[in-house]
Amino acid sequence: MSGIHDFTAKSLAGEDIPLKRFEGQVLLIVNTASACGFTPQYKGLEELHQALGPRGFSVLGFPCNQFGSQEPGDAAQIEQFCTSNYAITFPMFAKIDVNGSDAHPLYQYLKNKKSGLLGTSIKWNFTKFSAACADREAGRACKRNRGAAVNEKNDTMSDQLPDRLSTDPKSPYYNEEVLARDVGIRFKGVEKTNVEEYCVSEGWVRVTAGAAKDRYGNPLTIKVHGPVEPYFRDKAS
């Protein structure tokens, strides 16, 4: 398959929806959850969909229960939640996996086309892929954003990256506004995509150790020392 529009996904009603239906639109593809700290982002997503829909834009929501079991409901419960709490009108699809061997083919494609700091892995709920699809091959225009709110902050944010940054929401060095942008890491002059955390002043990155897991099933990480150069890809020359 060569582009986003070649995939099919089931709606909450169980109908197979060819994504070719959205050809020519700018898409914001989001993995959602009903019991997450980021769940109020539904409001901003719906506002964005309403404001830009007439100009050829659509949000596509994909419920997922892989992060803290925060989307436990069935399709009917998810639809009821979205309708009653946020009056969602943008397309919502059936619950899927976004990581692992059972990840939906669309997400396998998106992650391979535009990896973030964690490489081909989604870190948490409300990770966003924006795809400017009109008149060009979709995957080449994919941009990945971690779970920060959708607003105009990214257009006015400082281009100064912090000395230390973590992708773990529980870490004191986690910064959702920074991670909402497309952050790249050069380590010893080489691009790295499996970085969990970095520190410029101390000269190290913490990276995932392949497929290894700890006794709780979490990915093992290792700290590697060397020169670290974080940058915003959209500002790179």
Task: Return the active site residues.
Answer: 36
- The CA-based angle 37-185-229, given to 5 degrees, is 120
Question: Would you call 96 helix, strand, or coil by DSSP?
Answer: coil
Contact 125, 38 (CB under 8 A): yes
Contacts of 129 (CB under 8 A, 6+ apart): 27, 28, 29, 30, 110, 114, 142, 143, 144, 145
Contact 25, 134 (CB under 8 A): yes
**Residue 207 corresponds to which amino acid?**
V
Q: Distance of CA 93 to CAs 58, 133, 234, Å?
A: 13, 20, 30
Q: Which two tokens stand for residue 208?
A: 């995932």
Q: Which two tokens stand for residue 114?
A: 């535009």
CA 193 to chain centre: 14
How many Å apart are CA 32 and CA 30, to the nearest integer?
6
